[in-house]
Amino acid sequence: MLGVLTDNGKVNYISLDNFISIDKMKYFDTYFEKQFKKFCNELPRIIERNEWAYHQYDENRSKDFIFNNLMSTWYDHNTSREDGWRLLKTYVPEFIDYLFDNVVDYMQGMLIRCELQGGPMKFHRDWGPDTNGDLGLSPTEKEARELQETWIWFRFSDTKKLYISELDGKDDISKRIPVKPYGAVFNGLDYHGCYEDSYGFSVRISGGLKKNIISDKNIDITTWKDWYPPTEYWKTEALTI
């Protein structure tokens, strides 16, 4: 387990529940459902501006599949970073405001997942040799820390679950560790994914946590060279309200 470094050692994940409102998270569960329906209702207009979405829509791909790919600042092969951020600000502005008020000082990337019951995110790790595309990277722990593959993750109901594990947990369910908070920070180079009974909305973010969270949780940021203090590059790249 690579985990997240703290002054007290390495932990599987860090809960953010002390810094967010659980009532607000449960409110956002309904909020995301309403905004998803709004997105679907306006999809004919949206696809007029996005060739990839037009072809997916024409091929009868599911609306949640199109939503998951467009409501993101990472899937550049489907939509531009600017278009993705525009859609996020259009359909979930209240959540973005909440993040900047309570969790992050800036964001570099964000994606929303709408997972239907029976179709969870498979177990994977980011940038591992056994991920899609076989990138061939099997880092040592030192190399992994330099990659800074740490994600801020949110779920909005008890039906949406995240599990993380060490290498041997990839195929052994008993080795998987449930991430119980509604908000958490975890290392994306560890295996992570969901069980089949997990469904609903979740959000993954790459960005700078507020300093009070870092201090309260004793997060060791010595390997976060680009993030703290943020370089001019990240200030330029940061997503803004």
pLDDT 10s per residue in the chain (241 long)? 889 999 889 999 999 999 999 999 999 999 999 999 999 999 999 988 888 888 888 888 899 999 999 999 986 556 688 889 999 999 999 999 999 999 998 888 999 999 988 777 878 887 665 555 444 456 677 777 777 778 999 999 999 999 998 877 777 888 889 999 999 999 988 889 888 788 999 999 988 899 999 999 999 888 777 677 777 877 788 888 7
Cβ–Cβ under 8 Å, residues 222 and 96: no
pLDDT computed for residue 80 by the predictor: 80
Q: Report the C-alpha gap between 208 and 148 in whole angstroms.
A: 12
Q: Which residues pair with 208 in a beta bridge?
A: 106
What gap in Å lies between CA 150 and CA 189, rounded to an integer?
Answer: 8
Residues in the chain: 241
Q: Exposed, middle or buried: residue 103 (CB in 10 Å: 0-12, 13-18, 19+)?
A: buried
Where is 79: in which H helix or E strand? none
| CB proximity list for 234: less than 8 A, separation 6 or greater | 106, 108, 208, 226, 227
Residue 30: per-residue pLDDT: 96
Q: Which amino acid is at 58?
A: D
Q: Which pLDDT does position 217 carry in this prediction?
A: 94
* pLDDT in the model for residue 106: 87
Q: How many helices (H) and strands (E) does the chain have?
A: 9, 10
CA 100-154-223 angle, 5° bins: 70
Q: What is the DSSP letter of 157?
A: S
d(CA 15, CA 29): 19
Per-residue confidence (pLDDT) for residue 33, from 0 to 100: 97
